[in-house]
Structure 1
Amino acid sequence: MTDKEDELDSDQARKLILFKSKKEIKVKELPKYAFEKFDQEDKIKLITKSKSSGAGYSYSIQLQNESSAPISEVKIKVIYSDFLSITGFYPPTTKLPKSPNNKGKSITRIKFDEINERSSKRIDLRFTPLLLGNEGEIRTMVTYVNNKDYVRVLDSKPVIIKLGKININPKIVPSSYIQKFSQKPDIKKGIISFGVGVEDSIDSDFYFNLLNQILLKNHLQLIAKDPNKKILWFFGTDLESREDVLIIGQIVSAKVEIIGTSPSHNVLISFLTLLSNEFKEHLVIREIVKTPNQIYNMKCKYCGMVLPNFPEKGEEIECRKCSNIQVVW
């Protein structure tokens, strides 16, 4: 403590209690605590959680300040394998600048000026796999400046993501079994929804027939088909896990959608990734689009809900779940 601080403390102590008489005692309030007096070691905690969710993975980052003083210059670095893509985040005010790939890794950085005492910050991310046959990880590093002006570092345990290739055999079931299978208590569901951003409109029959061809090509059994409503129902079994999978393909509100249902989330994610990639490849091969970048994800980038329709270029669209407004393309 400096000489100046000693003088201040001494002066405050003298003024704290003034003895005027035995009957009269005047007390002044103590000044508010100084933050540097509080120990923050082991009171700043990084908590990360991940789980399979829909057609991908959800990953939450929570930084908890359980101390009685704030921390500042908070920098969060999310490192993940480049076969994964961040397709959603929450809260909506989060800015996610992405750094160039480095040795098969992508990095996204998030900054906060300060996290107050006894409070926390949470970021939710959604990852969608881009390719199969890969193994990688997601991990988080945090740096911050504590109340004694020291830089501290926190590091999470890596979350391992492994997506093997999938092999499906067709399985014949009655159409009445579709609803029963979808309502099983342990069933997992996921959806891929996208819009094709081209200036000239494409007949929905083209997308419907292409979807039918791709599902047949991947050894699924056609169970039912409704050309008027543009819906297809297919069924199959994964040869490795022996788990069944129901795939529904549909063209609705100018969107192409592939909906998967299976007891195995790994089978579900792998198969939806495979079908989505093949559909996009066929659009490029047939010169409907010049690049896959012209095919747009139709899930809300904040809450993950499927948006109601594929809008015109530059048109704003509102999510029915979280009410956030966004521009798709």
Structure 2
Amino acid sequence: MTDKKIDQNSEDTHELILFRELSAKDSVKYEAEPLQYVDQEDKINMVYEIVPFGGNYLYSLLIKNQSADPITELKIRINIPVFFRLCRSTPPTVTIESLKTENESDNGITEEKQVKMEFELLNGNSQKQINLYLCPLFLEKNGNIRSFITFVNNADYIRAIDTDSIKVELNPFSIERKIIPQSEIKRFLEKPWIKKANKSIGIDIDGVFDENYFFEQIVRTIQLSNFQLILKNQNNKISWFCGTDLVSGNDILVIGQIVAGKIEWLAASANPHLLISILTNFVNVFTREMILLGHISSIDQVYPLECKYCGNTLPYFPGRGKSIECNKCNYEQIIWN
């Protein structure tokens, strides 16, 4: 009897051991998977370029988070030369500060502007597009554009990356007059490789705006750059000019006009960089002449007529303190007070 009880106990014990072993094996299936650390190094990238955009330049910066995890507390800093004015940006909420840096090449000081913006979050596998629309203020200048960002990564460390510098040169031009028949104007503008751009301004003057007088000032501004007058319509306040740039060899067609109280220059050429230089020069020369003639006292009385939201040319020059609606994006804005 005793031996039988011992055998029974052995069998019970053996069954118990088997059960315990089976339970241990089964429990492995339900263990939580270990957390994986995803290294975000080299997965946060910036793609950037500067290209002509009408009468201005567009600097675009694309921040790409190619990791699965988000990054937080993004701080973007973009250094631009002082000869650029920030016309508008997307996103529109930015701050601009003056900046002085040491120039290692000549041990001098370089003055720049720094555009700043911040974002709380950039999710994994997503991107953020930043656009700066830059209006040149002077010609025959050169400088650099460079971007810097800092962020907190998925390991709660602050990381910093930057781009290479893009050199920007606003080269001078030299115009040789070119005579073309009036019938060639339309054919020139319809060529598929021809780019077009314009500058439209309003000026704050005392008294009545004399369209005939200021139209003649527009014509004079264009002729000072040695363009050949092709056609002039005094009644409609519009004139056409043509010339060839001796530096690049490109032909340029220029239109000067007054419409709805706006002073406008339009230019067409195969070279978009040349268009920006020529239009910038027209505005600068016209402004300088207006100051010398006593019509205005400073450049602050000259107002660019570009929509602050989309960049489209506004339909007319509104009165002081009057709002105007863009006929493209319907954004309502006040140009001057």
- The normalised TM-score by structure 2 is 0.84
Determine helix, strand or coil for the equivalent of 1:313.
coil
Distance 1:287 1:160 in 2: 38
**Contact (CA 8 Å) 1:89, 1:303: kept in 2 or not?**
no
Q: Counterpart in 2 of 1:104?
A: 111
CA displacement 1:169-209 (0-9 Å, x = unmatched): 11111111111111112111111111113453321222101
CA displacement 1:16-72 (0-9 Å, x = unmatched): xxxxx9xxx9x99979x97x8332222211111221121121111111122222211
CA displacement 1:59-95 (0-9 Å, x = unmatched): 111111222222111111110111111112224xx21
**Contact (CA 8 Å) 1:80, 1:105: kept in 2 or not?**
yes
Q: Counterpart in 2 of 1:201?
A: 208
Alpha-carbon offset, residue 113 of structure 1: 1.5
Identity %: 36
Distance 2:258 2:99 in 1: 35
Distance 2:39 2:123 in 1: 15
**Contact (CA 8 Å) 1:82, 1:101: kept in 2 or not?**
no
**Contact (CA 8 Å) 2:221, 2:282: kept in 1 or not?**
yes
One-letter code of the match for 1:109?
A: K
One-letter code of the match for 1:83?
A: F
Distance 1:200 1:149 in 2: 63
Alpha-carbon offset, residue 252 of structure 1: 0.9
Determine helix, strand or coil for the equivalent of 1:37.
coil
Unaligned runs of 5+ in 2: 1-22, 101-109
Determine helix, strand or coil for the equivalent of 1:236.
strand
Counterpart pick for 1:240 among 241, 247, 253: 247
Counterpart pick for 2:319 among 297, 305, 312: 312
**What is the 5 A alignment of 1:164-175?**
164-175=171-182
Does structure 1 residue 287 correspond to structure 2 residue 294?
yes
Distance 2:164 2:190 in 1: 35
Aligned residue pairs, count = 304
**What is the 5 A alignment of 1:254-265?**
254-265=261-272
One-letter code of the match for 1:70?
A: P
**Contact (CA 8 Å) 1:191, 1:258: kept in 2 or not?**
yes
User: Which segment is superposed worse, 109-118 or 319-328?
Assistant: 319-328
Distance 1:83 1:220 in 2: 26
**What is the 5 A alignment of 1:176-195?**
176-195=183-202
Determine helix, strand or coil for the equivalent of 2:207.
coil
Distance 1:64 1:267 in 2: 33
Determine helix, strand or coil for the equivalent of 2:216.
helix
When the two chains are superposed, the root-mean-square deviation of aligned CA atoms in Å is 2.4
- Structure 1 stretches of 4+ with a deviation exceeding 4 A read 27-31
One-letter code of the match for 1:247?
A: V
Q: Counterpart in 1 of 2:221?
A: 214
Does structure 1 residue 95 correspond to structure 2 residue 93?
yes
Task: Decide which structure has the larger Cα Rg and report it.
Answer: 2
CA displacement 1:269-290 (0-9 Å, x = unmatched): 1111111100111111122221
Alpha-carbon offset, residue 323 of structure 1: 2.4
Unaligned runs of 5+ in 1: 1-20
Distance 1:128 1:150 in 2: 37
User: Which segment is superposed worse, 199-208 or 65-74?
Assistant: 199-208
Counterpart pick for 1:156 among 148, 157, 163: 163
Alpha-carbon offset, residue 104 of structure 1: 2.4
Distance 2:324 2:164 in 1: 38
- The normalised TM-score by structure 1 is 0.86
Distance 1:230 1:81 in 2: 36
